[in-house]
Amino acid sequence: MRLNTIQLFINSAVMMSNLFIPILAHNLGASGTQIGIIGAVYGTALFISTYIFSRVADSYPPKKLLYAGFISAAVAFFLQVFAYDPLSLAVIRALTGFSIGIYPAVLMLYVYNLRRSISKFSSFMPLGWAVGNMLAGMIAVYWQIFTISSLLFAASFLITLTLPDTQVRTKKKADYFSRDILKKNWNLYFGFFLRQIGANNVWVIFPLYLVSLGANELWVGLIYTLNPTLQFFIMRRLDRYNTTSLIHAGDLLSAAAFIALIPLTIYYQAVVGMVLIAFSYSCLYVGSTRELIETNEEKGAAAGLLNSSIAFATIIGSLVGGIILEYYSYRAVMAAGAFFALLGYAVMQLAGSSGKPQKSS
């Protein structure tokens, strides 16, 4: 329960802080492109951090890395209170991105070493998103949201102090370019990366889309809550399914979800798309994570590089979404999301028997 509580707290903190960043940036005078740049700066820092610490995860004491991640996140998330223009917001978002890239790989490896279910532990990630979205929608006051996020990271640090130590599985020198892992799993990383470009292209402007359709802050929070709440229940039931089938289903359902978001005329019609997103991401994340951990010797690095691909996609997707919004429309952003999801599916299909993931049951 302590690990699940940490997973719940840290993901609540991240999501409740992230939800209204596009609206806050808009209120501080940012254009569509600048909103995309702010998202890209955050994603760049997250990518650098996850890449570095996914390599460190296999050779350093897990709890020390968790301490560093949670303490730095507590400080960085509180600093968001002091953002006063688009530039200051971008700088502080870079700090938050780097801080939350420290712990994901080591936390997943820590759970694996304790022989806990990856699917059940992962399910508390979207539950945290749901709680964070709900709290953000109910509070709707930025300084309070950022303060609570900081306190949740501080609480996670205190809980970590009570966790048992685990042994480092390997002491060998890390290859920071991860050539062998990338070569072996290139299709998983690249396919996930393409899908996430489409997703981040949508999420960087989606709160503004909902507001344009008549939603207030509470309704934005409620609509965002639906997707991760469903993910919590879906992820817990995916252990028995073939990883390849889960990944393919995730890509195709993602495309269907983003297409469903195109013809909206009022905010509550987004419910259908959010339900499809819940199924799609659950399948894709659990399928990809299980495959990487089960078939690679350097498990922390392999799983951590998936987080790096997600972070790198945040950079590209945020820029794409912001630019498309500024020069085209919200609906064009949704169409781009579907296009990138289909590209991810094509990569997995075209990789062939030499590249596609091993089937596991």
Complete DSSP assignment for 205-249 = THHHHHHHTT--HHHHHHHHHHHHHHHHHHHTT-TTS-HHHHHHH
Q: 60-69, 78-87, 195-204: lowest mean pLDDT where? A: 60-69
Q: Residue 218 burial (CB < 10 Å; 0-12/13-18/19+)?
A: middle
Q: For 265-322, write each residue's pLDDT tens digit.
A: 999 999 999 999 999 999 998 888 888 877 777 766 777 778 778 888 888 998 999 8
Contact, 197 vs 340, CB < 8 A? yes
pLDDT score of 2: 82
Q: For 108-127, write each residue's pLDDT tens digit.
A: 777 777 766 666 777 788 88
Higher pLDDT, 220 or 339: 339
Helix, strand, coil percent content, the chain, rounded in steps of 5:
80, 0, 20
Q: How many CB atoms lie within 10 A of CB 163?
A: 15
Please tell me whether the overall predicted TM-score, pTM, comes out greater than 0.95 for this model. Answer: no
Average pLDDT (73-102) is 93
For residue 128, the number of C-alpha atoms closer than 13 Å in the C-beta half-sphere is 24
Q: Which domains occur in the chain, in start order?
A: 2-161+178-350 (1.20.1250.20)
Please, which residues have CB within 8 angstroms of residue 95's CB and are 6 or more apart in sequence?
Answer: 45, 76, 79
Is the pLDDT at 355 greater than 60? The verdict is: no
Is the pLDDT at 47 greater than 50? The verdict is: yes
Higher pLDDT, 212 or 128: 212
The C-alpha torsion from 272 through 276 and 282 to 284, rounded to 10°, is -150
pLDDT score of 166: 65
CA distance 28 to 83: 9
Q: For 169-217, write each residue's pLDDT tens digit.
A: 544 555 555 677 878 888 888 989 999 999 999 998 899 899 999 998 8
Is the pLDDT at 46 greater than 70? The verdict is: yes
CA distance 350 to 187: 9
Q: How confident is the model at residue 57 (pLDDT cuts 50, 70, 90)?
A: low
Tokens of 211: 């507001």
CA distance 173 to 345: 35
Q: Residue 140 burial (CB < 10 Å; 0-12/13-18/19+)?
A: middle
Contact, 268 vs 335, CB < 8 A? no
